[in-house]
Chains A and B, each alone.
Chain A
Amino acid sequence: MAAILAIEDDWTVGVVLEHTLRSAGHDVDLVRGLIDGREALTTGQYDLVLLDINLPDGNGLELLRDVRHRFGRALQVLVLTGMRQEESVVEGLELGADDYVTKPFSPSELLARVSRCVRS
């Protein structure tokens, strides 16, 4: 099972992420913004980051750039985007995201993508 950092400002999405991933046996830390996310990445050790693009204190893609700079490909990143945000998805994948999940999402699809990321 994996240690996952979820960076998501919407509290309903956050609760769903926490519940779904914990039910599958993962350890989940949930933070609400980029600053908290950066701090968590400094202090904690994670296998995977679930990263929302639109955060109240900045664009999640900035953090993705930092993650790739600091951790290389050692840390998996799964980007969370809204519907009709194809450009963000493309940009995220170009910046090195391992996969993406579009909101709204199905919990089973989320788990499948998380498992795939963790396995690889």
Chain B
Amino acid sequence: MWRRSGDVAFALVFALAIAIEAVPLGYLTWTLLGRIGSERTDGPLVTILVGVVASATLALVIVMAYVLGYQLVSARLEAALVERRQTWVTRWLRVLDGSEPEPPAPLRREAIEALVGLREVLRGSQSDRVASLLESYGAAAAFKRAATAGRVPARLEAIEALASARVPSTLTALVRAVNDSQPVVRVAAARAAARTLATVEEPGARELGASALARALQRGHLPVGIVEEVLVLAEMAAAPIVSDLLLRDGVPSATLRAALDGVGRLQLLVFAEEVARFLTHPDAEVRAAALRATGRLGFLAETSRSAVIAALEAEEDFIRIHATSTARLLPRDQALVTLSERLGDRSWWVRRAAADAMASLGAPGLAELGRAARSHQDRFARDIAEQALRERVPALVQAVAG
């Protein structure tokens, strides 16, 4: 509920607020009751008033008692639950090291939670054993059932448990949930599926799972950031997912962008040629993602140079920015000339990208920046070149003087 922190302060404020209401109402009730008993009674109106005031007081007192009771009881219940879980964690650890037999089924909820917690904490053979235990006790199947039907909060809880459990047999159900009608379920399922896929080690099974997840991502129309997160979470399975997305027709441009950014971020050099195909994609955002990916990979094939050079003249600033950063991968002389020209671009961001790209080329780039700072025909180019050089002075001094 609200009780995350500051619960004592909250309880005190709540009690004070209710008391401010309840005490005067109680006093009023008492006074009016006295008047009913006396000779100066005002008839049924006072009786009704007394009833209303008394019931309001009672209601406030009940609410206060409930909230304070809840505070007290829930804190104790939570502490007891944590203690039971800790006991179960210790017990499971003994099971794992063979000093205690496996407990009989069915397991209590905290026993399952402890097992799921251990799956998150442990790595290697013991973690695999925990996954087998989750399967053999039927916990994985129960989470799978809960994840696919029922109320959304319960489904999300089950999907979260499956994400922690990462039991390969639940992958199909999770992939199916990536195309659920509820967007929040789709997102949670995509993350859980990626984490589960990361634990699938058999190459054939991994490729099949990756292909299924890629298809689901394509149909699920998930936000770019989520698809990128999925690729990171999938770890070794990211490459087959990316491969499927880049090779398939009809993939939404948002998903394509995420796949291309994934190639760059995860340094999947094996896709350098595939990325090059998207340098001339009709969608400008996809072209920009392909340029970014190429820049991050640090590899520009000879056949793709013309696409990068053409992108330097694009109408959209964001394309020119990424093309300029990537232009550092052209043959050195061509890169220096091209980047020097870009120092005079109409966009400050492109000029900045050109200066940074030149500086990244080492001594020749810095020398060219120096020339540009002194004698570039464009005033803005001279300014940005000088600024970039000035920013690098401390590093240069350190490099020279040690």
A residues touching B (Cβ–Cβ < 8 Å)?
A: 10-13, 15-16, 19-20, 23, 84, 103-109
Show 20 residue pairs from A and B whose CB-CB distance is below 8 angstroms, ordered by the A residue. Answer: A11-B86, A11-B89, A12-B85, A12-B117, A12-B120, A13-B121, A15-B86, A15-B89, A15-B90, A16-B89, A19-B93, A103-B121, A104-B120, A104-B121, A106-B122, A106-B124, A107-B122, A107-B126, A108-B124, A109-B123
- Size of the B side of the interface (Cβ < 8 Å), in residues, is 20
Closest Cβ neighbor of B120 among chain A residues = A104
From DSSP, what is the main secondary structure of chain B's interface residues? Answer: helix
Assess the A105–B93 pair: CB atoms within 8 A: no
Closest Cβ neighbor of B89 among chain A residues = A15
9 tightest A-B CB contacts, nearest first: A106-B124, A12-B117, A104-B123, A15-B89, A19-B93, A106-B123, A12-B121, A13-B121, A15-B86
Least Cβ distance of B133 to chain A in Å? Answer: 15
Closest Cβ neighbor of B123 among chain A residues = A104
Bound-state CA distance A107–B118 (Å) is 12
A106 in complex: contacting residue of B86, B118, B126, CB < 8 Å: B126
B residues touching A (Cβ–Cβ < 8 Å)?
A: 82, 85-86, 89-90, 93-94, 97, 114, 117-118, 120-127, 232
Closest Cβ neighbor of B116 among chain A residues = A12
* A-B CB pair tally, cutoff 8 Å: 49
B contact residues around A105 at 8 Å (CB): 121-123
Assess the B82–A16 pair: CB atoms within 8 A: no
Assess the A16–B121 pair: CB atoms within 8 A: yes
Least Cβ distance of A8 to chain B in Å? Answer: 10
B contact residues around A15 at 8 Å (CB): 86, 89-90, 93
A contact residues around B118 at 8 Å (CB): 12, 16
Least Cβ distance of A101 to chain B in Å? Answer: 10
Closest Cβ neighbor of A56 among chain B residues = B5
Bound-state CA distance A32–B86 (Å) is 14
Least Cβ distance of B27 to chain A in Å? Answer: 44
B contact residues around A106 at 8 Å (CB): 122-127
Given contacts A16-B89, A16-B118, 4 further A-B contacts (CB under 8 A): A10-B121, A11-B89, A15-B86, A104-B123
Least Cβ distance of A119 to chain B in Å? Answer: 23
Least Cβ distance of A52 to chain B in Å? Answer: 12
Least Cβ distance of B68 to chain A in Å? Answer: 26
Bound-state CA distance A105–B117 (Å) is 13
